[in-house]
Amino acid sequence: MASTRTILAAALAAFAAAAPASAQSGWGMIGESEVGTQAGSGAITPRGADPFRQFMICVDLAPLRFRTITVRFAGGASQAIAFRDRIAAGACGRALSVRGRAGPVASIDVAYEPGRTGNVTAETARVQIFGR
């Protein structure tokens, strides 16, 4: 029979894995936007001018499948990042790294399409970007 300590440790590990990025160590909200659940694109403007080395995309309300992510820097440079992942509603994708030290981010452009499975009928999804 499993000890209480083992069960508690497993529960805490599951909670940490399921917690939103803002609750996980070192991640802070960069910006968010509500988007339609049909194929489209949008730009998310960071709330501050702090540079970051990694970012993570989280989705709420409806799942989305991302096609392209482009990080645009304040100095005019940009970086396209290969990211063709489906993110379920209420979940976050993997951490993505920004190359070099291009400075503060002006915007993060995302191209996406529906990530529906089953009967999801939401007309909008909330895309949140966290950085560290």
Whether 13 maps to a domain, the answer reads no
For the chain, how many structural domains are there in total? 1
pLDDT exceeds cutoff 60 at 9: no
pLDDT in tens, 39-84: 889 899 988 777 888 999 999 999 999 988 999 988 889 999 988 8
Average pLDDT over residues 89-111: 88
Whether 51 maps to a domain, the answer reads yes
pLDDT exceeds cutoff 50 at 32: yes
The range of the structural domain enclosing residue 62 comes to 21-131
Q: Which of 117, 107, 101, 126 is nearest to 36 (CA)?
A: 126
Mean pLDDT across the chain: 80
Q: Output b/e per residue, 40-76; b: 16+ Cβ within 10 A.
A: eeeebebeeeeebeebbbbbbbbbbebeebebbbeee
Question: Which CATH number goes with the domain that contains 115?
Answer: 2.60.120
For position 119, what pLDDT does the model report?
57
Whether 59 maps to a domain, the answer reads yes
Whether 7 maps to a domain, the answer reads no
- pLDDT band per the 50, 70, 90 thresholds, residue 24: low
- DSSP for 58-121 reads EEESS-EEEEEEEEEETTS-EEEEE---EE-TTEE---EEPPTT--SEEEEEEEEEE---TT--
Q: Which residue has the higher pLDDT, 116 or 83?
A: 83
86 φ, ψ to 5°? -95, 130
Whether 6 maps to a domain, the answer reads no
pLDDT exceeds cutoff 50 at 18: no
